[in-house]
Amino acid sequence: MNNIAIFGYGIVGKGVRDVIDENYDEFCVKKVFDLPSKRDVLGNLLETDMDKIFADKEIDTIVECMGGDELPHEIICKALKAKKNVVSSNKETLSRHMKEYLDLANDNHVILAFEASVGGGIPLIYPITIQNEFDEIYTINGILNATCNFVLSKMQKEDMSLEDAILLAQKNGFAEKDPSADLKGLDMVRKGNVIATIVCGKELKNDEIPHFGIEKVSKDIINFIKDMGRELRFVVNITFLTKKVSLVVLPIAITPKNPLIHVEYDNNGVLIEDKHNGPITLLGKGAGRYPTASAIMQDLVRIQKGIAFPYEKVGPYQKIVPNLTGSFLCFKDDKFITELVSPTQDELLKYDFICRIEK
Ligand SMILES: NC(=O)c1ccc[n+]([C@@H]2O[C@H](COP(=O)([O-])OP(=O)(O)OC[C@H]3O[C@@H](n4cnc5c(N)ncnc54)[C@H](OP(=O)(O)O)[C@@H]3O)[C@@H](O)[C@H]2O)c1
């Protein structure tokens, strides 16, 4: 029996408990850490003192699905030091402290796993990690924010305005009350960081990743791009160069030949190009209670089977090179102004909305 403690009984945490209770006799949720207000729902399963969980010798793995950074950082560090395996869906804390977490996991001979932190239910972190062991990955292009992809699909396929599409995303539970971090690209900065770190094995800083958002996209811009025979996708673009990693989060006007054209609504998708086996496309649900719980179960089952995660200690900090090669369409007040070739970040920041155009 594998005894688990879940930290955070929200959308994801409840999903993990449901899936374990319904499908997995070999796992047992022994405790749930959350606020005292959850006593009515959780009864004796609720534990509000985290140290009691870390001291419990019967609990071997904790699942952290609280969100944020400060408290999860404390929880993950304490859990690893107490020799508990840690499964986390929290890209915010992982993207900030990956090196510290992996070092602690290695030093304490336990496993840190985070399949659910990027791409919702799509098996992505583990396959990329394995692929990276055997092949040389050149680029990864990921549509990794379900809210933004849903909004862009509604605007492009159903002629909806940005405001209406956001409202609908909120109504359907995809978008947060304040969706600005998603629309600005900050969520994809964190997810891009997690993927890039496991591939290049170096510590990367979120605040060095350039990001150009979609807050100012409009129907006029969408129609302009449609007239060029292209569709917008909001993408994190990672390129691995010799001793360098190049990253940017930005909208790209893609042609119908690009496999990411099939990533629509609340789906996520990733296109991987490598030396011997490419391109590989992974596509599926990018968020939601049960897709995310399913990704957490993948980690739990691998830990239970003793499948080693080939993450090594993350090497020292590496500066990120902004990836701004190619042609960019630049808009102000919903109007096309100019096309710039391989511009600087400062040149692009003068406009309300920019997108790279796939030739
Ligand atoms: N939702 C998704 O589809 C999805 C997909 C992939 C990854 N993730 C990631 O998974 C994590 C959890 O997401 P979620 O959507 O499940 O969030 P959520 O619904 O807000 O759940 C978080 C839970 O933690 C509890 N909590 C917050 N602060 C606490 C504190 N100080 N002490 C104890 N408990 C506390 C919350 O209680 P209250 O509700 O009372 O505040 C809530 O029960 C995040 O990192 C998110 O980015 C989510």
Q: Please determine, for residue 84, whether its predicted confidence score (pLDDT) is greater than 90.
A: yes
d(CA 267, CA 287): 8
Q: Are residues 106 and 210 in the same domain?
A: no
For residues 184 and 105, state if they share a domain.
no
Question: Is the same domain home to 165 and 227?
Answer: yes
Nearest CA to ligand 1 atom 20: 10
> Does 331 fall in a domain?
yes
On whether the CB atoms of residues 355 and 252 are closer than 8 A, the answer is yes
Distance between Cα 139 and ligand 1 center (Å): 31
Tell me, using a 6 A CB cutoff, whether residue 87 lines ligand 1: no
Determine if ligand 1 sits within 6 Å of the CB of residue 294. no
Q: What is the mean pLDDT of residues 338-356?
A: 97
Nearest-atom number in ligand 1 for the CA of 9 is 43
Are 159 and 104 in the same domain?
no
39, 40, 42, 47 alpha-carbon torsion, rounded to 10°: 10
Backbone dihedral region for residue 190 (phi beyond 0: left; psi -120 to 50: alpha; all else: beta):
alpha
- The pick from 46, 89, 194, 289 for probing ligand 1's pocket by mutation, whose C-beta has the most ligand atoms within 8 angstroms, reads 89
Q: Is residue 263 part of a domain?
A: yes
Q: Report the nearest atom of ligand 1 relative to the CA of 15.
A: 16
Per-residue pLDDT of 144-181, as tens digits, reads 999 999 999 999 999 999 999 999 999 987 788 899 99
Cβ–ligand 1 distance for 322 under 6 Å, the answer no
Over the stretch 285-327, which tens digit does the pLDDT of each residue have?
Answer: 998 999 999 999 999 999 999 887 777 778 888 899 888 999 9
The answer to whether residue 269 scores a pLDDT higher than 80 is yes
pTM over 0.75: yes
The partner residues of 253 in beta bridges, in order of sequence, read: 232, 357
Give the total number of structural domains in the chain: 2
pLDDT for res 313: 78
| Domain presence at residue 52 | yes
| Least confident among 88-102, 248-262, 275-289 | 275-289
Query: Is residue 169 exposed (0-12), middle (13-18) or buried (19+ Cβ within 10 Å)?
Result: buried
Domain that holds residue 48: 2-113
Are 292 and 121 in contact, with CB atoms under 8 Å apart?
Answer: yes
- Is residue 203 domain-shared with residue 332, that is, in the same domain? yes
- One-letter identity of residue 43: G
Is position 246 within any domain?
Answer: yes
**C-alpha 292 to ligand 1 mean position (Å):** 12
- Does 119 reside within a domain? no
69 neighbors 92 (Cβ within 8 angstroms): yes
CATH number of the domain encompassing residue 181: 3.30.360.10
pLDDT tens figures, 88-134: 999 999 999 999 999 999 999 999 999 999 999 999 999 999 999 98
Domain shared by 165 and 65, yes or no: no
> Same domain for 106 and 219?
no
306 domain-assigned = no
Considering the domain architecture, whether residues 212 and 274 belong to the same structural domain is answered as yes
Query: Could you tell me if 172 and 23 lie in one domain?
Result: no
pLDDT band (50, 70, 90) for residue 245: very high
CA 65–ligand 1 middle distance (angstroms): 6
Probe residue for ligand 1, chosen from 39, 65, 147 as the CB with the greatest number of ligand atoms within 8 Å: 65
Cβ of 10 closer than 6 Å to ligand 1, yes or no, is yes
Q: Are residues 102 and 180 in the same domain?
A: no
Same domain, 203 and 272: yes
Residues 75 and 179 in one domain: no
Residue 34, ligand 1, Cβ within 6 A: yes
Question: How far apart, in Å, are the Cα atoms of 215 and each of 35, 218, 235, 277?
Answer: 34, 9, 14, 36
CA 67 from centre of chain: 12
With respect to residue 290, please indicate whether it lies within any of the assigned structural domains: no
- Cα 359–chain centre separation: 27
